Structure 1
């Protein structure tokens, strides 16, 4: 397991930004350009077929940062950072992109037929996951002591 210290950590807040869109009678084209993403993409995946009101995520990452786009349907995103600040975002348009920094606890509530696209700055590593909320709470305590 990766043991990350919170020493000298500059916390980055999650935020939503808009992508470009072109619309004509044949439909809409949405686009996201590399300069809009605060990192180089190493991995892309999407989540679909999740039963309505099911929760995905329920973890944080030591290093992995992500941008997420709800391509179809609606996903509510509940986040908590190291300072114990909580955020709630509703993604229901392919024009909205959520930047999810590392060391933020996340829970994604999926609604009917939602499809969530995720792009990450790290390749998959199980060691990067913080799946136990008590472990994350210890990191929060360590972070708060250093303020």
Structure 2
């Protein structure tokens, strides 16, 4: 059963250099094979993203720039995680409701997913999410 305890902050290797730092995300950093990468940016002040769960897909979120909050809900518990370091990411397992809020100006959220886009994998209504958890 998926719980918010299965969602964890994972370190991304950071190579420090006086010319600028470099971080690399490969399959040894995240616990799934990478099938899709996308990013959110220019999120207007007060706007929210997410607001869904995945039946099977897992994701890894990174604040490449700025910060934002990720609200995780497993149907029993809720937890807020603030992402604000480009060398850390949040692993979100399947069957977890997520909402992204409080984007700072210039924030960029990188999302690495375990599968390609499949609309049938999404649960977009919270009541449907709760019903599926039973």
Q: Shorter-chain TM-score: which interval?
A: over 0.9
For structure 1, the 5+ residue unaligned runs are 1-9, 143-147
Picking from 94, 103, 110, the partner of 1:102 is 94
Equivalent residue, structure 2, for 1:39 = 32
1:86 aligns with 2:78: yes
Q: Which is higher, the Rg of structure 1 or of structure 2?
A: 1
Provide the aligned length of Structure 1 versus Structure 2: 131
Picking from 61, 70, 73, the partner of 1:77 is 70
Q: Is the 8 A contact 1:52 1:113 kept in 2?
A: no
TM-score using structure 1 length? 0.84
Q: Is the 8 A contact 1:53 1:111 kept in 2?
A: no
In structure 1, distance between residues paired with 2:116 and 2:93: 15
Q: Is the 8 A contact 2:8 2:91 kept in 1?
A: yes
CA RMSD of aligned residues (A): 1.2
Partner-residue secondary structure (3-state), 2:127 = helix
TM-score using structure 2 length? 0.92
How far apart are 1:125 and its partner, in Å? 0.8
Q: Is the 8 A contact 1:75 1:90 kept in 2?
A: yes
Partner-residue secondary structure (3-state), 1:136 = helix
Equivalent residue, structure 2, for 1:53 = 46
For structure 2, the 5+ residue unaligned runs are none
In structure 2, distance between residues paired with 1:56 and 1:14: 18
**Structure 1 segments of 4+ aligned residues over 3 angstroms from their partners:** none
Picking from 58, 65, 77, the partner of 1:65 is 58
